[in-house]
Amino acid sequence: MTPPDKISVAIAQLNPVVGDISGNLAKARAARAEAAKGGADLIAFTEIFIGGYPPEDLILKPSFVAACQAAVEDLAKDTADGGPGVLIGTPWKGKAGVHNAAALLDGGKVAGVRFKVDLPNYGVFDEKRVFVPGLLTGPFDFRGVHIGVPVCEDIWTDEVIETLAETGAELLIVPNGSPYWRGKPDERIQIAAARVVESGLALIYTNQMCGQDDLIFDGGSFALNGDATLALQLPTFSEEVVVTHWKRKGKTFHCEGPKAVLIEDDEADYTACVLGLRDYVTKNGFPGVVLGLSGGIDSAICAAMAVDALGADKVHCIMMPYRFTSEESLGDAAGCAKALGVRYDVVPISEPVEGFEAALKPLFEGTERGITEENLQSRVRGTILMSVSNKFGPMVVTTGNKSEMSVGYATLYGDMNGGFNPIKDIYKTQVYRLSELRNRWKPVGALGPDGEVIPVNIITKAPTAELRDNQKDQDSLPPYEVLDAILEALVEDEKSVAEIVAQGFDLETVKKVERLLYLAEYKRRQAAPGVKVTRRNFGRDRRYPITNRFRDQG
């Protein structure tokens, strides 16, 4: 029988929900119907699509794995209609244990299953904890075309692709759950191109598009021809079902498809923050969000992200002034709320703060006022926000940036209160850049207004927590340009004190920042989850002990 000289493959770049097996199955069926209208022979979904990715320790729950397999087997029955076959990611229980698998569905049955070989166990990944690796195997025979299916990490080294090429693969389809961080799309293409050059085989790379807790999956699915030229590029941060048409060319196939221009750098980071907040709020069933709007830049950018994510009608901003709150801040907060079109309330906190101080007076007798009294203001504000959340249901958005989270410039049970933080992995200097960016641009699909939504005065004035008279952040911290450069060296690059000093930074300043970084670990363990946009976020990537006496002496 002569093998076919063409094949049409639909790429399903979609937003699954972890644990929503029935919902994901319905989404798969709808996508297959759409692919059929476009003349697809096969539709390719992403990694563990049926259960959502990453499922983490749900894989250790036998009923979850069984439900995923049952849903895949149910979907397989649909393919008896002669329409598109299905390649779908799922957990699969084999003889050795549970695998991260890709199942081929065709002719009304599960036509074959392939298991992920290379299980990542670094950074945000912990797959060796829950999966057993598969063995090196050959390609599927799908209607006469030999399709190799390496799963995600399997293309980051050459062994799996080499085996597939040697066993007759003609086309590679790679299901992925590849999380976002800045620069990741270029890295993916470079890795895929290396495998294409080595094998000479065209490659289709499918990636999911969603927020899942602190991880963002940006989509950006693509395909490369056998000569490593770009065959097609789907957009990032957008759900897509696109049918691609491949013609046989030599030992592989060739395609010329749409090539979207991807957003990058600060625009991509801002979009990731919006997507992460939107999916966290909606997937967890909150009716909206509430946040403190102080007149400062961090709360302003978070308010803008919330409106872009959810719409102004689902965002409630509350200004909570005390005697140190300036008229400038009151005006800036009101101006920001008006520009965004959100509900805005002013709740003075003098009475509760002074009530706490009166209650504590017998215990604090003979001591000087200081940071404890300052933190009472923050904790009263946190209590008010949590009370509104408790009463009416909206989730509290907490607004501390990565610079503050790094050095502990935040109050436990105060401004750290909340369910999610969209700027948790954004350094302060980038907060300024994103604020300026948002005033001239907004992401596709954003629900907020065009134009200036963060008053310019918020961006240009000196940052302050306003917990005492004439307070400025730089009373306690180095200038943010210096602080962030040191933090990036310590956190992202794990550089030593000596290496950072060699870059021109003051020794005592670097040692102070390092000390604060270590001391604040206990606070970060209690912080709300937030969007990951850097290579090393706090939590999944950077896991330092709380009890830790190591100090780099430089």
The structure tokens listed for 81 are 């209609």
CB 116 within 8 A of CB 53: no
The Cα 246–Cα 142 span in angstroms is 14
432 SS3 class: helix
Please report, for residues 168, 352, 476, the alpha-carbon distance to residue 349 in angstroms, rounded to integers and kept in the order given. Answer: 72, 6, 25
The Cα 179–Cα 125 span in angstroms is 10
What residue ranges do the domains of the chain occupy? 6-262, 267-474
Q: Report the catalytic residues.
A: 47, 116, 152
The Cα 179–Cα 216 span in angstroms is 5
Residue written as token pair 């195997």: 137
Please report, as a single letter, which amino acid is at residue 133.
Answer: P
- Phi, psi (deg, nearest 5) at residue 372: -60, -45
Residue among 284, 308, 152, 108 nearest 211 (CA): 284
Residue 61's contacts (CB-CB under 8 Å, 6 or more residues apart) are: none
Q: What spatial distance separates the first Cα and last Cα of the chain, rounded to whole Å? A: 71
- Residue 520 is predicted with a pLDDT of 93
- Residue 462 is predicted with a pLDDT of 82
Residue 123's contacts (CB-CB under 8 Å, 6 or more residues apart) are: 535, 536, 540, 541
- Residue 125 is predicted with a pLDDT of 86
The structure tokens listed for 379 are 């904790």
54: left (phi over 0), alpha (psi -120 to 50) or beta: beta
Query: If you classify domain 267-474 with CATH, what class do you get?
Result: alpha beta
Mark out the alpha helices in 345-467 (DSSP H runs): 350-364, 371-392, 402-407, 428-438, 456-460
Q: What is the dihedral of CA 428, 434, 436, 439, to 10 degrees?
A: -140
The Cα 45–Cα 11 span in angstroms is 7
The topology under which CATH files domain 6-262 is Nitrilase/N-carbamoyl-D-aminoacid amidohydrolase (3.60.110)
CA atoms within 13 A on the CB side of 234: 26
- Mean pLDDT of successive 10-residue stretches along the chain, which has 554 residues: 88 97 98 97 98 95 96 98 97 95 97 94 86 94 96 93 96 96 93 96 97 96 96 97 95 93 96 98 98 96 98 98 92 97 97 95 92 93 97 97 93 93 96 97 96 96 75 78 95 94 94 94 94 89 83 75
Sign of the torsion formed by the C-alpha atoms of 277, 278, 283 and 288: positive
Q: Using alpha carbons only, what angle is made at residue 516 by residues 511 and 518, rounded to the nearest 5 degrees?
A: 95
Residue 336's contacts (CB-CB under 8 Å, 6 or more residues apart) are: 293, 295, 300, 303, 317, 453, 454, 455, 458
